[in-house]
Amino acid sequence: MRKLKRLAPQIVALVLVLFAVTLAVPGFLSISVQNGRLYGSLVDICVRAAPVALLAIGMTLVIATRGIDLSVGAVMAITGAIAATLVADNQPLVVVLLVSLGIGLACGLWNGALVALLDLQPIIATLILMVAGRGIAQLVTGGTILTFNDPAFSFIGSGALFGVPMPVLIWLVAGLVVGLVVRRSALGLLIEAVGVNRRASSLVGVRSRFLIVAAYAISGLCAALAGMIVTADIHGADANNAGLWLELDAILAVVIGGTSLSGGRFSITASLIGALIIQSLNTGILMSGWPPEFNLIVKAAAIVVILTLQSPTVATALSGLRATFGSASRSNSHEPTGKAGARAK
Amino acid sequence: MMKIVTRLAAASALSMLASTAFAASLTVGFSQIGSESGWRAAETTVTQNQAKERGIDLKFADAQQKQENQIKAVRGFIAQGVDAILIAPVVATGWDDVLKEAKEADIPVILLDRQIEAPDSLYLTAVTSDQVHEGKVAGDWLVKDVGAKPCKVVELQGTTGSSPAINRKKGFEQAIAGHSNITIARSQTGDFTRTKGKEVMESFIKAEGGGKDICAVYAHNDDMAVGAIQAIKEAGLKPGTDIKVVSIDAVPDIFLAMAAGEANATVELTPNMAGPAFDALEAYLKDKKAPAKWIQTESKLYTQADDPKAVYDAKKGLGY
């Protein structure tokens, strides 16, 4: 129940966005089964949200430690390029997956080492790989779009298991695994502690360095998965465009999910809903038939509204309004206090 | 032993003499933007091949997307006293000073694939394609192909506001104007990329009754068309027959799709800008008659009838 209340703003926003799109595009919500797999715009949203959703999982942990990872888009390009090279070289699928994940992990460890061991500011530390990464990816592909024809690897991008498209399964499972690991153990709490006050956490014996490196490593792994999905999806590695600007969408997903950029409390589920909200806006705009000049304006306006509704000031004002009209439920009026209590921790 | 060495030395001296004499015929400096796309890499390769064929000594400078590097390279070419300079300008403005220097040194300058904002007395000519014409060639093909049948077209635009997106849209609309059986049902940007082309096509198919109402897709570049082809296939339709695919650029991958019957037509943005440029230059140096200020390259239409597999084999080595 408490969990549901935490997610309420994100769920309401998602429902509102879907409702608005349905008004503009009748039949938007219909889902059918075609060729043995789920088919419909809602399915498209879940599939197309996969890269940002995966990035958002890692980004949530990094942001919870009071960091930020700008390199994830570039890491997607690198792993995509390497995966495509290996696939084009007829390597077995296991090798492709393991090497690509390994490269993503290495990128994450590099970022983590710069932040945790050398104490560089996260935004600068990860900027290095963000800028250099795309160059590395281009070196790997030789500056061209590296295409391949391999049904096994393409399955990651466009296949389906039990009617559910693979990209959706991948981000659901990744979210579930990471979520369970951090929430069924004390890890999540420790990560939040590091984000709120790294020095204090270290003093009470939390291995904050290790936790920070681990957060960036997971972010690198998630970026590797996302990179493989987009590469498999178009049967080619496009070093120039794979993951371009997706780091910003991932950060936005985390912020829509209500995780503060100054670290501390986080929710992976809320970030995933944030990713779905962003993709619902994207797909909704595509379906609406408006001229493309409006795309970014509509998206920006919707996001301003969503973030405004989540602002603590507005939330307090709203519950104040409710109180004046005498219909405030007990649970609602408790929310601001609850948040303040969590901050003090 | 000694004899052999002297002979070798003499031979190499001779060949050096020969090559310098040959190179002295024409030395041309080429300031390329960089290698941001496959097409640009192909343009560089074709320029080098063209120079080799004609015995022109080509001095190549890669500007890595920076105008200051291009200006530096052009000044370097002037200092070396080359016979002519080719520039693929990265931006349209800021060229006046360096072009004046070239003019004072009496070195003709030819612009490749992009125009600039400078008095046209400062350069010999510009070799570019006509993007509006490219769109028109694509539209004309569709008009001829569908005849009098009604045809609902969806359009994948390039990056919003970019000149190829604006011009290729305009040209296509000019071609289908007056053919009321052809209508553009939906038009969205696919940012010139495969991923976005695929995503946008998916949404078009959903929005237009599962794609059965769509007769053709017109993509502003081949990459988006390749993405759209995958989206059509995954929706259970046959690209090339259920939904016709026409696009622009003629990069190698679209010829593979055409060979498989999944794409119908593409309009070539030729990477051979240097050929016409060298032609104009040689004619100018011979009888000092200045060419027209704009040389338009051919926008050739390729269809499935043009042996796409052979075109693919010819193009794939160009560095696309």
In a domain, B298, yes or no: no
When pLDDT is averaged across residues A54-63 and rounded to a whole number, the result is 98
How far out from the chain centre does Cα B220 lie?
13
Q: Are B164 and B312 found together in one domain?
A: yes
User: Is residue B235 in a domain?
Assistant: yes
Q: Count CB pairs under 8 A between chains A and B.
A: 74
Residues of A in contact with B35 (CB under 8 A): 143
Where b means 16+ CB within 10 Å and e means fewer, A15-30 reads ebbbebbbeebeebee
Task: Based on the fold, state whether residues B179 and B314 are members of the same structural domain.
Answer: yes
User: Do both B207 and B79 map to the same domain?
Assistant: no
Within an 8 Å CB–CB cutoff, is residue A235 touching chain B?
yes
Closest to B38 (Cβ–Cβ): which among A40, A144, A241?
A144
Does B227 fall in a domain? yes
Closest CA to A113 of A220, A197, A192: A220
pLDDT-based confidence at A311, cuts 50/70/90? confident
B88 assigned to some structural domain: yes
Look up the domain containing B252 and give its range. Answer: 131-269+304-318
Q: How many helices (H) and strands (E) does chain B have?
A: 11, 12
Enumerate residues 6+ apart whose C-beta is below 8 A from A291.
Answer: B187
Residues A264, A270, A272, A273, Cα dihedral to 10°: -150
- The answer to whether the CB of B54 falls within 8 A of the CB of B102 is no
CB A68 within 8 A of CB A259: no
ipTM of predicted complex:
0.88
Q: What type of residue is A19?
A: F
Contact state of A241 with B191 under an 8 Å Cβ cutoff: yes
Instruction: State which residue of chain A sits closest to B36, comparing Cα positions.
Output: A143
Sign of the CA dihedral with A244 first, then A250, A253, and A259 last? negative
**For residue A332, pLDDT beyond 80:** no
Query: Are residues B110 and B259 both part of a single domain?
Result: no
Q: What is the pLDDT of residue B7?
A: 55
A 10 A CB-CB count for A139 gives 12
- Whether B299 is in a domain gets the answer no
Q: Based on the domain organization, do B176 and B278 belong to the same domain?
A: no
Which residue is closest to B200 within chain A, CA to CA?
Answer: A286
Q: What pLDDT score does A341 carry?
A: 39
> What Rg value do the Cα atoms of chain B yield, rounded?
23
CATH number at residue B245: 3.40.50.2300
How high is the pLDDT of residue A313? 87
Residues B174 and B310 in one domain: yes
- Is B177 found in the same domain as B196? yes
- Mean pLDDT highest for which of A284-293, A329-338, B204-213, B265-274? B265-274
> What are the pLDDT digits (tens) for B40-71?
889 999 999 999 999 999 999 999 889 999 99
Distance from CA of B36 to the nearest CA of A (A): 8
Of A144, A236, A295, the CB nearest to B194: A236
Q: Tell whether B166 and B311 lie within a shared domain.
A: yes
The answer, for A291 touching chain B at a CB cutoff of 8 Å, is: yes
Distance to chain B for A216, nearest Cα, Å: 26
CATH 3.30.1370 fits A44-299, yes or no: no
Q: Name the residue with higher pLDDT: A213 or A330.
A: A213
For residue range B79-109, list pLDDT tens digits in order: 999 999 999 999 999 999 999 999 999 999 9
Hey, are the CB atoms on B320 and A144 less than 8 Å from each other?
yes
Name which of B188, B245, B194, B158 is nearest A283 in CA terms: B188
On whether any CB of chain B is under 8 Å from the CB of A198, the answer is no
Rg (CA), chain A: 21
Interface test with B, best of A44, A76, A144 (most B CBs within 10 A): A144
Residue A147: its chain B contacts at CB < 8 A? 253
Rounded Cα–Cα distance for residues A339 and B7 (Å): 91
User: B22 and B6, same structural domain?
Assistant: yes
User: Domain extents for chain A?
Assistant: 44-299
Give the total number of structural domains in chain B. 2
Distance of alpha carbon A192 from alpha carbon A198, whole angstroms: 9
Q: Domain for residue B193, yes or no?
A: yes
Exposure on the CB side of residue A177, measured as CA atoms within 13 A: 11
Distance CA(B186)–CA(B228), nearest Å, equals 14
On the question of pLDDT at B13 being above 60, the answer is no
Q: CB–CB of B198 and A145 under 8 A?
A: no
Q: For the stretch B209-234, what's the b/e string if a residue is b when 16 or more beta carbons lie within 10 angstroms of its beta carbon?
A: eebeebbbbbbbbbbbbbbbbbbbeb
Q: Which of B153, B187, B191, B199 to mutate to test the interface with A (most CBs of A within 10 A)?
A: B199
CA A61 to chain centre: 10
Residues B145 and B167 in one domain: yes
Cβ atoms < 10 Å from Cβ of A189: 13
Q: Tell me, yes or no, whether B179 lies in a domain.
A: yes
Nearest CA distance, A165 vs chain B (angstrom): 11
Q: What is the mean pLDDT of residues B250-262?
A: 96
- Chain B contact set for A236 (CB, 8 A): 194
Residues B53 and B188 in one domain: no
Phi-psi region of A36 (alpha: psi -120 to 50; beta: other; left: phi over 0): left
Are B212 and B122 within one domain? no
| Confidence category of residue A171, pLDDT binned at 50, 70, 90 | very high
pLDDT, one tens digit per residue, over A5-33 is 889 989 999 999 999 999 988 889 989 88
Question: Nearest-CA residue of chain B relative to A38?
Answer: B235
> In this predicted model, what pLDDT tens digit does every residue of A270-298 receive, in sequence order?
999 999 999 999 999 999 888 998 889 99
Choose the weakest-confidence range: A95-109, A290-304, B15-29. B15-29
